[in-house]
C-alpha cells in the first residue's frame, strides 16, 4: 500500500467518526427539548381534596352521615348524596334527623327533614399541615325546618 491510500483510509475513518459523533449529538439535542416539552405539558398533580372534619377530628370526603350536634348527638345528617365536591364548595342533598326533645331530649323522638347541604370557605387545617378543610356548613330546608332552626342557616365548623 502506498501512503496516499493510507491517508485516504485515515480521512474516511475520521469522516465516519465525525459523522457518527454529529449524529449522536443531534439525537441528544433532539431528545433534550422533547423531554423538556413533555415535562411542561404534563398535568400538574391533583391536590388532595378539601375535607370536612367531624366531631372526632377525623377528616372525611363525601361522608354518608355527618353529626351536627357533637355534644349530645341530637341532630345529624344522613343519606347524604353529594352532587359536587370541589376545592371551594361541596353540595349534597339528604335528611336532617333532629330530636324534637319532647318532653325532653332523652324521651324525645327523631324527626326527618329533607335538606340541601353546602360546605364552603376552605381554610388550612392547623392540625394537618398541607390539608384544607371546609369551615362552614349551610343547611337549606325546602319545606319545614326543625324547630327552632331557621329554614336557611349557616354554621361555623369548629372541629
pLDDT tens digits for range 81-136: 999 999 999 999 999 999 999 999 999 999 999 999 999 999 999 989 999 999 99
Q: How far is CA 107 from the centre of its chain?
A: 41
CB neighbour list of residue 33: distance below 8 Å, 6 or more residues apart = none
Q: Which residue has the higher pLDDT, 30 or 48?
A: 48
What would the grid cell of residue 20 be? 457518527
User: Which H or E run includes 139?
Assistant: strand 132-140
Cα 153 to Cα 30, 77, 111, 141, 156, distances in angstroms: 61, 14, 18, 9, 10
The model's pTM is 0.70
Amino acid at each position: 500500500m502506498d501512503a496516499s491510500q493510507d491517508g485516504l483510509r485515515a480521512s474516511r475513518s475520521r469522516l465516519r467518526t465525525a459523522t457518527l459523533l454529529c449524529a449522536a449529538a443531534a439525537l441528544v439535542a433532539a431528545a433534550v427539548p422533547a423531554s423538556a416539552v413533555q415535562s411542561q405539558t404534563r398535568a400538574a398533580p391533583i391536590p388532595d381534596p378539601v375535607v370536612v372534619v367531624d366531631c372526632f377530628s377525623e377528616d372525611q370526603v363525601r361522608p354518608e352521615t355527618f353529626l351536627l350536634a357533637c355534644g349530645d348527638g341530637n341532630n345529624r345528617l344522613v343519606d347524604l348524596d353529594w352532587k359536587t365536591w370541589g376545592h371551594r364548595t361541596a353540595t349534597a342533598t339528604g335528611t336532617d334527623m333532629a330530636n324534637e326533645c319532647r318532653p325532653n331530649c332523652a324521651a324525645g323522638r327523631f324527626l326527618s327533614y329533607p335538606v340541601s347541604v353546602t360546605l364552603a370557605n376552605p381554610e388550612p387545617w392547623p392540625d394537618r399541615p398541607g390539608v384544607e378543610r371546609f369551615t362552614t356548613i349551610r343547611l337549606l330546608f325546602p319545606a319545614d325546618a326543625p324547630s327552632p332552626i331557621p329554614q336557611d342557616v349557616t354554621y361555623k365548623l369548629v372541629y
